[in-house]
Structure 1
Amino acid sequence: MKIKEIVVVEGKDDTVAVKRAVDADTIETNGSAVNENVIEQVKHAQRIRGVIIFTDPDFPGEKIRKIIDERVPGCKHAFLPKKAALPKSGKGIGVEYASPESIRNALKEAQVMLEEAQEEISAEDLMDAGLIGGPGAKERREKLGLLLKIGHTNGKQLYKRLKMFQITKEKFVKALKQIRQEEEHA
């Protein structure tokens, strides 16, 4: 599978993992202190071929994603489920530990994050769905992130991510029904 866009990753090990999974060019940020040179490379890549931001599903990875997204609008975002980014040793988390299949799936489903949703999903909807606070909220958010392909979020980030990916209320409700059915059959 050849990727047209240039994939932004955190480091050399991520580049190796991506290239093992797909035919793609990468830009490495070399950590969460994204410097101006990297931003200029990403801006150029976005103008020429497009960009997919593919960072680790952890706090530093989200920080890098946010910095690049603010400075280089219109990039696509690929998310790896936390479970797919865990090493066999159990220490750490990252793209470099993901299987080629998980990487291909994440890149194939990359989306552009936009600012306005088509229908409003309220904070009350999130609370009523058991996605904020309360027992099982974190697990439900993880399942929702997988189903809607918006990545793992904390309670605060979820509302913003739903808006950015223009998740409709209908799609949101459908995903919640699926989660509830899985919970009933567990």
Structure 2
Amino acid sequence: MIKEIIVVEGKDDTAAIKRAVDADTIETNGSAIGDEVLRRIALASERRGVIIFTDPDHAGERIRKIVARHAPGCKHAFLPQEKALYKGDIGIENASPEAIRQALSELRTETADDAGEITWEDLMEAGLIVHPDASNRRLRIGKLLGIGYANGKQFYKRCTSFRISKAEFMAALRQMEEELEA
């Protein structure tokens, strides 16, 4: 049984989580998160902890930000888009139990002080921003770091708020470069 309560978008996501692990969930009912749901999430965060596990798409990212703002200190699970894709639909409900367990084994915890080691210049030098293939490179390295895909500004925020170390970043960058050369 997972101690924390997993925040998902809907009933199908809850069903997918329950196929993979023994856990309780709170459903946001999509991006129209009501005050009552946010209060339940904040209470869950105080009492048991919360894992935010939303779809790897724009709407899921929006929900993740809203929940994290109302319940600081949450853990985050990220699922790569290709593991959540079925017939053009992206969602946690499409992921295999193995993919869900993998994402839940690689949780990241956001910190309030944004004191990570990665700098904006590191991202520029790595070709993750201001580069013709920056979007694809962020997708690849985000997967390796377990922080998901994000635009440049959000990627930087994730690196700092999840305290990605310089060593961890450089190792993922080397692995990405080796994969691109192969």
Partners in 2 of 1:7 and 1:128 — Cα distance?
36
Query: 2:116, 2:159 within 8 Å by CA — same for their partners in 1?
Result: no
- Residue 138 of structure 2 corresponds to 141
Query: 2:116, 2:161 within 8 Å by CA — same for their partners in 1?
Result: no
Query: 1:117, 1:162 within 8 Å by CA — same for their partners in 2?
Result: no
Q: Which runs of 5+ in 1 are unaligned?
A: none
The one-letter code sitting in structure 2 at the alignment partner of 1:26 is T
The correspondence of residues 26-175 of structure 1 with structure 2, limited to 5 A, is 26-87=25-86, 89=87, 91-114=88-111, 115-119=113-117, 121-175=118-172
Superposed CA offset, 1:85-124 (max 9, x none): 101x2x22000000000001111211211132342x2222
CA-based RMSD: 1.2
Superposed CA offset, 1:28-61 (max 9, x none): 0001121110011111111221110100011110
TM-score by length of structure 2 reads 0.95
Q: Which runs of 5+ in 2 are unaligned?
A: none
The correspondence of residues 170-185 of structure 1 with structure 2, limited to 5 A, is 170-185=167-182
Query: 1:117, 1:168 within 8 Å by CA — same for their partners in 2?
Result: no
Query: 2:123, 2:129 within 8 Å by CA — same for their partners in 1?
Result: yes
Distance 1:157 1:118, change over 3 A: closer
The one-letter code sitting in structure 1 at the alignment partner of 2:73 is G
Give runs of ≥4 in structure 1 deviating > 4 Å.
Answer: none
1:146 positional shift = 1.3
Partners in 2 of 1:117 and 1:146 — Cα distance?
22
The one-letter code sitting in structure 2 at the alignment partner of 1:141 is R
TM-score by length of structure 1 reads 0.93
- Correspondence 1:23 to 2:14: no
1:135 positional shift = 3.0
How many residue pairs are counted as aligned between the two chains? Answer: 181
1:143 positional shift = 1.5
